Amino acid sequence: MQNPASAGYHDQTKAKFVPSTRIPVPVPTLIYKIFQIEAAHRLPNAPPGHKCARLHGHSFRIEIRLRGEPDPVTGWLMDFADLARTFAPVFEALDHRYLNEVPGLENPTSERLAEWIWQRLRPQLPVLDEVLVAETCTAGARYRGH
């Protein structure tokens, strides 16, 4: 069994510890909401002749995951409607856009898109755990912050 301290749990904002040890364990509640955007892009740094260097589009599936302790009264980590409202400016900036023209996405790989979304959501979502971006049904990227 992998030691939780080496599994990336040491950076949890509200870490709990295994009784009588100082080994942190993950906060157990994870919620997520899925959004979909339609957008075009090209990857200007792809090798010459690579198909992704040409203009093309995707139906990007974006999953926002939050981790933390649910409120003892409501039982929610966060109201999904509040999460949708928080995501709305990101959606507006990306949906039906040419991603290369969005500031900070001049080379809009899935990896960079996931990080770009994280950077815009994290200030409003301290319980943000990860951002997943899928450009196809079988390929995508995950970003979990620094």
What residues act catalytically? 52, 96, 135
* Tokens describing residue 112: 């960079």
For residue 63, the cross-strand partners are: 34, 132
Tell me the C-alpha distance between 121 and 104, whole Å. 15
- CA 51 from chain center: how many Å? 26
Identify whether the C-beta of residue 39 lies closer than 8 Å to the C-beta of residue 58. Answer: yes
Tell me the C-alpha distance between 145 and 131, whole Å. 9
Q: Any residues with CB less than 8 A from the CB of 31 and at least 6 apart, and which?
A: 65, 66, 77, 78, 80
